[in-house]
Amino acid sequence: MSTYLMTLQYDGTRYNGWQKQGNTPNTIQEKLESLLTRLYGFPVEIAGSGRTDAGVHALGQTASFRIPDKADHYSCEDLFSQMNLYLPLDIRVLSVIPAGERFHARLLAKSKIYEYRIDTGSPADVFHRRYALHVQERLDMAAMEEAARRLTGAHDFLGFCANKHMKKSSLRTIYHIELRQEGVFLIISFCGNGFLYNMVRIMTGTLIEVGLHQKSPEDIDQILWQRDRSLAGFTAPPQGLFLVSVSYQ
């Protein structure tokens, strides 16, 4: 078997998320698998590094797929050009490279970086309404940074998970959270070894509530300790979230 690693970006606005579903072909995974199946003439399954929700975007999503040695093979250059020729314009393949036979884009991922973008201008920027959450009220950056510091490290993040019936471990490590202002846009960057369902969006909503003085930085400790989703902030909407990169080192 030959294994390939693909890096891609997509605008998630009009898609029902990454993962293929039985009731709709309108997912990123379905679009990619359908095209690869057409190119090779037999079913090809891909494994993404993770599942982005409906409306969430990616600047550097990764996915792997395997092709039997007996099959006709495309070069990486041909795959790159053919996929970008036939994919919708809001999905682009950035690179295709050979990978080790046992490589798996999700199982071998070591860390991921997500960014959440907040438009703090008045009025909201018309051209970024699909790519940022508008918050017009003044945000207390110092309080948000203190809350972010309390989220950093190895914790049980069940209180920041939208899955009420989580059976697997909810222990994750957040390596760093950075807040930076770029013009009217506040960008919150999260780097960790993995993220639970809606975890980044819930952490973002919680940090926003801290910035609005609806919660205190000290509340973070209680949410982590109690492991109770109802204590955390709102789930920030999907359009402001971007999967930036996935690391395998």
- SS3 (DSSP) at 13: coil
Q: How far apart are CA 216 and CA 158, in angstroms?
A: 19
Structure tokens at 89: 């314009």
Asked if residue 40 and residue 118 are part of one domain, the reply reads no
What burial class does residue 221 get, using C-beta atoms within 10 Å of its C-beta: 0-12 exposed, 13-18 middle, 19+ buried? middle
Q: Does any domain span residue 147?
A: yes
* Structure confidence at residue 191 (pLDDT): 98
Please report, for the domain that includes residue 242, its CATH number.
3.30.70.660
- Residue pair 13/130 in contact (Cβ under 8 Å)? The answer is yes
The residue out of 99, 123, 143 marking a domain boundary is 99
Residue-wise DSSP of the chain: -EEEEEEEEE--TTSS-SS-BTTBS-SHHHHHHHHHHHHHSS---EEESSPPPTT-EEEEEEEEEEE-TTS----HHHHHHHHHHHS-TTEEEEEEEEE-TT--TTTT--EEEEEEEEE--SS--GGGTTTSEE--S---HHHHHHHHHHH-EEEE-GGG-S-TT--S--EEEEEEEEEEEETTEEEEEEEES---TTHHHHHHHHHHHHHTTSS-TTHHHHHHHHT-GGGS-----GGGEEEEEEE--
Asked if residue 80 and residue 138 are part of one domain, the reply reads no
Q: How many domains does the chain fold into?
A: 2
Q: How far apart are CA 64 and CA 246, in angstroms?
A: 13
Q: Considering 11, 53, 78, 119, which one is annotated as catalytic?
A: 53
Q: Which residues pair with 174 in a beta bridge?
A: 153, 192
Task: Determine whether 219 is an active site residue.
Answer: no
Asked if residue 153 and residue 47 are part of one domain, the reply reads no
Question: Residue 85: which H helix or E strand, with range?
Answer: helix 76-86
* Domain extent for 234: 111-247
The residue out of 42, 74, 99 marking a domain boundary is 99
Per-10-residue mean pLDDT of the chain, 249 residues long, equals: 95 96 91 96 95 96 92 87 97 96 94 98 93 96 98 97 88 98 97 96 98 98 96 98 96
DSSP state of 21: B
Q: Does any domain span residue 104?
A: no
Asked if residue 174 and residue 94 are part of one domain, the reply reads no
Task: Name the pairing type of β-strands 153-156 and 133-134.
Answer: unpaired
**Residue 43: closest CA among 19, 9, 71:** 71
Residue whose token pair is 């709102």: 234
Q: Does any domain span residue 106?
A: no
Asked if residue 243 and residue 123 are part of one domain, the reply reads yes
Asked if residue 115 and residue 16 are part of one domain, the reply reads no
* Structure confidence at residue 189 (pLDDT): 98
